[in-house]
Amino acid sequence: MRRLGFAFVAAGLAACAALPPQPASLDEGLLIARVETRGAFFTKSAKWADTASIVELDAEGNPLPGQRGLSGPAVNGYLVFYNVPPGRFALRSASFRARGARYQVQPLRTEESKRAVVLRRGSAAYLGDYRFDSRWPELGVALWHAARIIGHWLTPFLNRPLLPRETGLPVFENGPVPEVRALLAVRAGLSGTQWSRVVNARLRELSAAEPPKVAGAIRSRELPLRDEPFLSWRDTLNWGEPRRAPAGIAWRRPGGEAQIAVFFTTASAPGFAGWDAAVSELRRSSSASVEDRGGVYEVRVATRTGLAARATKYQYPEGVLVGSETSVVVTETTLIPDGFGMYTARLRAPRGEFDSALPAYREFLLQLVLGPPKPKPAPRQEAVMPFMGAP
């Protein structure tokens, strides 16, 4: 069985350089955690741990001897453990710097097996949110801690003293909502590294929606959702007002020929033969040209995954000798299954314009909210007291 020691030596060396280590193999993944410690006197003040350790557990929940690892550089307030092999892990301790010392907090070891998470091969997993509330130590302990802190002030060239923090039982939170929040924060900090692939894969597993896009340099704000009968969309394209049909919307790029359309087909619509038939037709249409090989690939649309393919079409103007003058149009079509039918998204553009329009199209798809808009809550009715003694 592969051991943790070598992986976390690399993580420790990378922490010194403040750079995350690159994945050493496809088997290794990420563990993420967040640890907050609130003050004993100023309860609203908080410190977030920047270093932590984990322990590997066996099938019965017992710690494996010597199988501990240290976190690497923190990312946007989250603790990250890099190059972790597959296994079952729990947070053992965390620490933060304050007042010339390093304070350490520890969850109850008797609860380790309940808080443990399983890290699959080459994946990412979330150890959870921990919140500790500090307590005042006894007088003798407080004086001893103060002496050690003053001693460090006199010898700043030595390592900070590691002091245990008096805390109550921690508040522990885990689940899809805090995990998605953690993954998005870590993804932003690890952008441009190979770890982005691992984080994005986990976000797709959770069907996590992308954060709403914001606009404005000085007073930034979220782009509002605009409701249609079958979906809601954010105007990330900035291509102007769309053309509308009963179950579809479409845009044309200003100053260009690229077109984007999204429409919904109900399962009871005439000619709709089902999902499998639609995918087969998608493959067939993408094999019509020599340049297209009929390949089907996945594309994220909102919180779902669709199947997409490209088709290249050569158009010859009427009255012109075939082959002397042509225009080449590339179309990417994405099918998204739905319980009541199927969504279809399409980008069609001349070959020279297709690549420049594709990033805007993919971003637009991620910001969609599929399905009928949620009904707006009814306005709150407040009781009005009549004037007493009114004529």
pLDDT tens, position by position, 92-127: 999 988 877 788 898 988 888 899 999 999 999 999
Average pLDDT over all residues of the chain: 84
Tell me, yes or no, whether 72 lies in a domain.
Answer: yes
Q: Residues with Cβ < 8 Å from 273, sequence gap 6 or more?
A: none
Residue % of the chain over a pLDDT of 70: 79
What does the pLDDT read at residue 138?
62
Measured CA to CA, the distance from residue 227 to residue 238 in angstroms comes to: 16
Q: Residues with Cβ < 8 Å from 174, sequence gap 6 or more?
A: 115, 117, 126, 127, 128, 129
* Residue of higher predicted confidence among 40 and 249: 249
Tell me, yes or no, whether 339 lies in a domain.
Answer: yes
> Out of 4-8, 154-158, 164-168, 222-226, which region has the weakest mean confidence (pLDDT)?
4-8
- Scanning 68-156, the segments in alpha helix (DSSP H) are 112-115, 139-154
Do 353 and 255 have their domain in common?
Answer: yes
Question: Would you say residue 380 has pLDDT above 80?
Answer: no
Measured CA to CA, the distance from residue 97 to residue 75 in angstroms comes to: 16
Q: What's the whole-number mean pLDDT along residues 130-154?
A: 70
pLDDT range class, residue 151, cuts 50, 70, 90: low
Do 19 and 81 have their domain in common?
Answer: yes
Question: Would you say residue 292 has pLDDT above 80?
Answer: no
Question: Would you say residue 8 has pLDDT above 80?
Answer: no
Measured CA to CA, the distance from residue 386 to residue 244 in angstroms comes to: 49
The residue among 153, 171, 205 that closes a domain is 205
* Residue of higher predicted confidence among 13 and 307: 307
Q: What sign has the CA pseudo-torsion 130, 134, 138, 141?
A: positive
Do 116 and 241 have their domain in common?
Answer: no
Do 197 and 230 have their domain in common?
Answer: no
Q: What's the whole-number mean pLDDT along residues 286-312?
A: 84
Do 260 and 356 have their domain in common?
Answer: yes
pLDDT range class, residue 15, cuts 50, 70, 90: very low
What does the pLDDT read at residue 346?
97
CATH of the domain at 252: 3.40.1000.10
What does the pLDDT read at residue 13?
41
* Residue of higher predicted confidence among 283 and 68: 283
Q: Which letter does DSSP use for residue 169 in this model?
A: P
Do 156 and 299 have their domain in common?
Answer: no
Do 25 and 170 have their domain in common?
Answer: yes
The residue among 177, 205, 233 that closes a domain is 205
Highest mean pLDDT, choosing among 17-21, 135-139, 365-369: 365-369
Tell me, yes or no, whether 45 lies in a domain.
Answer: yes
pLDDT range class, residue 167, cuts 50, 70, 90: confident
Question: Would you say residue 181 has pLDDT above 70?
Answer: yes
Do 197 and 327 have their domain in common?
Answer: no
Do 37 and 174 have their domain in common?
Answer: yes
Tell me, yes or no, whether 133 lies in a domain.
Answer: yes
Do 224 and 359 have their domain in common?
Answer: yes
Do 184 and 332 have their domain in common?
Answer: no
Residue % of the chain over a pLDDT of 90: 51
Number of independent structural domains in the chain = 2
Do 198 and 225 have their domain in common?
Answer: no
Which pTM was predicted? 0.73
Q: What's the whole-number mean pLDDT along residues 354-365?
A: 95
What does the pLDDT read at residue 11?
45
Domain that holds residue 300: 219-370
What does the pLDDT read at residue 16?
44
Measured CA to CA, the distance from residue 342 to residue 301 in angstroms comes to: 12
What does the pLDDT read at residue 83?
93
Q: Are 308 and 361 in contact (CB under 8 A)?
A: no
Q: Are 49 and 37 in contact (CB under 8 A)?
A: yes
Question: Would you say residue 233 has pLDDT above 80?
Answer: yes
Tell me, yes or no, whether 375 lies in a domain.
Answer: no
Q: What's the whole-number mean pLDDT along residues 240-244?
A: 95
Tell me, yes or no, whether 286 lies in a domain.
Answer: yes
Percent of the chain as helix, strand, coil, to the nearest 5 = 25, 35, 40
